[in-house]
Structure 1
Amino acid sequence: MTAGGQLEMPGMPRRLFPATPSKLATFSDCPRRYRMAYLDRPTPPKGPPWAHNTVGSAVHAALRSWWELPVPERTPRAARQLLYGHWSDTGFADAEQSATWRARAAGWLDEYVPTLDPTDEPVGTERQVAATTERLAVSGRVDRIDARGDELVVVDYKTGRVPSTEDEARGSPALALYVLGVRRTLRRPCTRVELHHLPSGTVAAFEHTDRSLANHVRRAEDVAEDITTATAARDAGAGDDEAFPPVPGQQCSWCDFRRSCPTGQAAAPPRETWSFLPVEP
């Protein structure tokens, strides 16, 4: 019997665990948070949205929309206008802070967009890709997929506090799984991943090998196995905290489910929703 209660017949293929990079990362960070996000129904109420996520979402949406424009209209000015259209005041301390960050993000696009060739059409923007391994059915959405010669490149936009590094590109489980998804979905070679950090104008890249991808797959499958075991234990009558224990720490300050988690409330004080924005000069 599987964790989902379905009968497994001898000789039948093993049921694949449906996964996304964020789903696996959530369990790795805190099994309780995974339970609240993916298993509890109704889902516990989430906390307020964060300003740094508002910035990232608007920049991502502006770049996606920019590539959807006719080629002659793909200008830095157009990117700025698209950002304004996607902008929200959500998570900021006040309208003044929001306006400051909108101008700052527009400046990032003013610097980044001229580095792009508007005639070099991406193979995909925010493209859904999927792949299977021995134990996983994994899927995800890639910010941009470029064609470089005969190969495809996974491009991920970053808007965080610090520039991305090669170690980050190499160690990202999500990017590795995206490579597998691009290969399976688009049936073309893909090894390179790039993190485009717009605030600094830097690019961190890594060329995956079969070995590095296999290492990421093995770790992802191990997490999926742990999730399956925990879910089966809960279905068999184990308590929620026994099957999905909390992992308290500083991350509890910004957990979406903090208001429903006394352990997290005791572990760390709450943070303001704009506190992850870089310190303004």
Structure 2
Amino acid sequence: MPRDSVTVVQMEMPGMPKRLFACTPSKLATFADCPRRYRFAYVERPSPPKGPPWAHNTVGSAVHAALRSWWELPIEKRTTAAVRQLLYGAWSPTGFRDDEQSHRWRAKAATWLTDYVAGLDPADEPAGTERTVGTTTPALALSGRVDRIDRRGDELVVVDYKTGRVPSTEDEARGSPALAAYVLGVRRTLRRPCSRVELHHLPSGTVAAFEHTDRSLANHVRRAEDIAADIATATEAVEAGQSPDEAFPAVTGRQCSWCDFRPSCPVGRAAVPARESWSFLPEEPAAD
């Protein structure tokens, strides 16, 4: 018997371990928000074309890139001037209304970074930046990329940068499935104690934190496994002949106005009007 055939037979033998569902927090969140968007992003190949990029995502991406690169510099070069230059190098005008708006938001983001980096100790080397970590549960192979992993005594702390218009809260830190997954991933990957998660909101200079317990993490794992089970059910339904639109229904609402796959979703387009690609940027009131 050919070697490939032996492998298939062995994989199908009774008693063999069940294959884990490989996922990220983003993948699970996409299905929880809208099964049809999940289908477009992760099932259909080729994936349908996306709509235009969003300015607020441009801001967040540039800030994250600048901070990652700042920590990669030699300690003596980790200055406020350096982080501004790194932001300028990472900046893109995509999603903004015009060049004036792009330049104004680049200046805003540079100010956030200058203030944030001024409060950091350049010599306090993180355990990781943009580090991919992973763990397994009885049903999942869960992985994700952490913005920063700090050393605090004998423990590690998950740090997530935020650039949205509203300051982060403790409820957000506690309820974030991604942060809980990162804690489990850090424990498994780096083999160090980790319970604390922090959301660093750069525009306001605030930090929202939460200390996870075994119980809180177990709750997050249970919810993640429930979502994965729903994904498997939908996938199996399509394989059995059910319409993909029925197995992966659209969940309509105001989120349809900014969905990346709006161009490919008539249901979403009919639900609400589209938003401008810069509409999530809080604008200053006009001068009198």
**Equivalent position of 1:3 in the other structure:** none
Fraction of identical pairs, as percent: 79
CA distance in 2, matches of 1:23, 1:141: 13
Please show how residues 253-264 of structure 1 align to structure 2 within 5 Å: 253-264=257-268
Letter of the structure 1 residue corresponding to residue 20 of structure 2: L
Measured in 1, the distance between the counterparts of 2:94 and 2:246 equals: 36
What is the CA-CA distance between 1:231 and the residue it aligns to?
A: 0.3
Is 1:17 the equivalent of 2:35? Answer: no
Report the alpha carbon displacement of residue 9 of structure 1 after superposing the two structures with TM: 3.1
Distance 1:280 1:192 in 2: 35
The answer to whether 1:77 aligns with 2:81 is yes
What is the distance in 2 between the residues matched to 1:213 and 1:71?
Answer: 35
Equivalence for 2:39: 35
In the alignment, which of 15, 26, 29 is matched to residue 30 of structure 2? 26
Aligned to 1:59: 63
Q: CA deviation at 1:11?
A: 1.4
Any residues of structure 2 matched to 1:78-97 within 5 Å, and which?
A: 78-97=82-101
Alpha-carbon separation, structure 2, partners of 1:169 and 1:178: 12
Quote how far apart the aligned CAs of 1:278 are.
1.4
Mapped to 2, the partners of 1:50 and 1:238 lie a distance apart of: 34
What's the TM-score once normalised by structure 2's chain length? 0.95
Tell me the equivalent position of 1:192.
Answer: 196
Counterpart pick for 1:45 among 46, 49, 57: 49
AA matched with 1:113: V
- 2:100 is aligned with 1:111: no
Distance 1:8 1:279 in 2: 58
Amino acid in structure 2 at the alignment position of 1:18 = A
Structure 1 runs not aligned, ≥5 long = 1-5
Selected match of 1:166 from 146, 170, 178: 170
**CA deviation after TM superposition for structure 1 residue 7, in Å:** 6.3
In structure 2, C-alpha distance between the alignment counterparts of 1:162 and 1:8, rounded to whole Å: 50
Structure 1 residue identity aligned to 2:26: S
Q: State how far apart, in whole Å, the 2-side matches of 1:177 and 1:280 are.
A: 36
Structure 1 residue 87, shift from structure 2 partner: 0.3
Matched, 1:122 2:130: no
Q: Secondary structure at the match of 1:22?
A: helix
TM-score, normalised relative to structure 1: 0.97
Q: What is the CA-CA distance between 1:159 and the residue it aligns to?
A: 0.1
AA in 2 matched with 1:157? Y
Aligned with 1:214 (options 215, 218, 224): 218
Q: Which amino acid aligns with 2:163?
A: T
How many residues align? The count is: 276
Task: Give the deviation of 1:12 after TM superposition.
Answer: 1.4
